[in-house]
Structure 1
């Protein structure tokens, strides 16, 4: 991207300061996530569990929270960046893996694959989820492009929400037809990070790493798209190729996250909007900030879910819905669904 296409310059010092603050908040939340749960633990138990000891119930509890915290951070970072990419690709302030139906597409694909084809391996789950997310993204964009005016933000949001409702009903229909797997699918459908293990996470790490790399590598080109298709083409960008590559990164992030956590909504909607208040619209800063803020939001939501429902807990997908739904209404009312 040429300098003429770059966003208006901002001083780097405030951004670096906010970056440090955000990283400190994430570290603090991660420490709280390890320490807080249904069972009280002390610093000695935490230190022992970090060294790999599980001699007591308290140490075993801490050992179970560590991978859960890591998974929440990874999932939040992936969904936060995916939301920022989707909003940049579509120039749609309402774009989000949940609102555009991408997460539900991955969910439906997994439900069908489990019920009708009997898939059970972690690798198969990931590939099925990615294909479902990708197919849904193409479908929603095609439907939102119909009619006069092309793929406007409002049409894309309506197409995505209609697709989400339809796919959610289809998931229920699949579960009703297979009572033997309905319980597991229903629990997974809520979206959560409970029961996380490092062995399960290993399978999704390559997909998440590739998605993050593609997203960060597309930052400059997303800045060009923000100027409009005609201007981006005039600056030498192949608009369709840029959109396809950046969307691939978002689909990998959404699909892999949904495969291991289930569909978690609103993280990709809330986080990019808040990060724009801190760093502006330059995707070279917005994407990494969205990843860090998304990780902090999901780890914090997981902690909140444990506190609010003690001695039980709320899945993180329920907590993010409570946070994100009012935010979505506020955007619709005050942002008037303008393009970015």
Structure 2
């Protein structure tokens, strides 16, 4: 009778791609991201030249073009940061729940963060980005725990369909509560509605700096969970037989993804579907090994959100479409495609 080697079975159980192919895709992803960042700085309601861009990077903003570039730089950095956080969080959530439909928006995590923020605005007068961060992370965590608990009830445990339904029902209920808080308060309704759409137009270096510690901790926790998520992909029983503490792995990885979602939502609003679309694309390109999938999801998430922001600025000149609307237009058809193709089965 053969024995299972815990050092090799998780790797053998996933769809593999040759290492040179994976490295090539990483190089391509980095090149695409850098190109999109350059486009984000150069394109918008006002066209700018390379001389204006160079002058802005040197701290000069004497002309309207140079001032526009100065504003676009933190906006681009925020789009990259939030996109990477959401892409990585989505990949981790799908790995933890083994649910192809897992996404911070679909599972109610974003809406939980939104309710926490509006509650803080209305009841406690919160207005600083730092206070938004703490309450958004708390709200995201409570929503994630609640949805997973509801989806785990009954026979079969937390199946993909039950989690998706629990997330949709929870999101609807939380959205109703948000409306109940906001409608009587005209003093906060305008600010909250513009934040709730999801966008990076109001980015500042200060807001990015305040979110970075939370995002950095979530990033490290999620990336270190890659090998354990490979074990979970084999099933709970086999993962436990390989020495993994299944509940601990799920708790730690889930906490990392919630931290990413909460911090990203606090600074940019509840942007949906990035965490759903990106991991599926990444699996097609580099396979299912989470040690490669997680960092690649962060790269593609950053690229997707940056591209969505550029598209939103270009197609509606001189106005702009918030990035949350653009990602919804991309993600909603993809969500329907995943439901029909995969029949909501487990990963």
Deviation at 1:307, TM superposition (A): 1.2
Q: Within the alignment, does 1:239 sit opposite 2:258 as a pair?
A: no
Q: Within the alignment, does 1:42 sit opposite 2:49 as a pair?
A: yes
Listed as ranges, the matches of 1:112-151 within 5 Å are 112-151=119-158
Give the equivalent residue in structure 1 for 2:104.
Answer: 97
Listed as ranges, the matches of 1:195-206 within 5 Å are 195-206=202-213
Once the two structures are superposed, residues 157-210 of structure 1 have per-residue CA deviations (whole angstroms, 9 ceiling, x without a partner) of 000011111111211111102111100000000000002111111100000000
Deviation at 1:122, TM superposition (A): 2.0
1:332 corresponds, among 302, 316, 339, to: 339
State how far apart, in whole Å, the 1-side matches of 2:341 and 2:18 are.
Answer: 28
Deviation at 1:5, TM superposition (A): 2.2
Deviation at 1:2, TM superposition (A): 1.6
Confirm or deny: 8 A CA contact 2:93 2:257 kept in the other structure: yes
State how far apart, in whole Å, the 1-side matches of 2:66 and 2:84 are.
Answer: 27
Structure 1 residues without counterparts, runs of 5 or longer = none
Q: Within the alignment, does 1:4 sit opposite 2:5 as a pair?
A: no
Confirm or deny: 8 A CA contact 2:10 2:227 kept in the other structure: no
- Partner-residue secondary structure (3-state), 1:177: coil
State how far apart, in whole Å, the 1-side matches of 2:210 and 2:324 are.
Answer: 22
Once the two structures are superposed, residues 96-115 of structure 1 have per-residue CA deviations (whole angstroms, 9 ceiling, x without a partner) of 00000000000000001110
Listed as ranges, the matches of 1:301-312 within 5 Å are 301-312=308-319
1:256 corresponds, among 260, 263, 266, to: 263
Confirm or deny: 8 A CA contact 2:87 2:279 kept in the other structure: yes
- Partner-residue secondary structure (3-state), 2:261: helix
RMSD (Å) for aligned C-alpha atoms: 0.8
Confirm or deny: 8 A CA contact 2:10 2:231 kept in the other structure: yes
State how far apart, in whole Å, the 2-side matches of 1:8 and 1:108 are.
Answer: 39
Give the equivalent residue in structure 2 for 1:107.
Answer: 114
1:170 corresponds, among 177, 190, 197, to: 177
Confirm or deny: 8 A CA contact 2:90 2:276 kept in the other structure: yes
Normalized against structure 2, the TM-score is what?
Answer: 0.97
Single out whichever of 160-169 and 77-86 deviates more from structure 2: 160-169
Give the equivalent residue in structure 1 for 2:3.
Answer: none
State how far apart, in whole Å, the 2-side matches of 1:267 and 1:122 are.
Answer: 22
Once the two structures are superposed, residues 39-94 of structure 1 have per-residue CA deviations (whole angstroms, 9 ceiling, x without a partner) of 11111101100111111111000000000000000000000000000000000000
State how far apart, in whole Å, the 2-side matches of 1:150 and 1:40 are.
Answer: 54
- Partner-residue secondary structure (3-state), 2:202: coil
Q: Within the alignment, does 1:179 sit opposite 2:164 as a pair?
A: no
Aligned residues: 340
Structure 2 residues without counterparts, runs of 5 or longer = 1-5
Give the equivalent residue in structure 2 for 1:323.
Answer: 330
Once the two structures are superposed, residues 147-166 of structure 1 have per-residue CA deviations (whole angstroms, 9 ceiling, x without a partner) of 11111000000000111111
- Partner-residue secondary structure (3-state), 2:244: coil
Give the equivalent residue in structure 2 for 1:275.
Answer: 282
Q: Within the alignment, does 1:292 sit opposite 2:299 as a pair?
A: yes
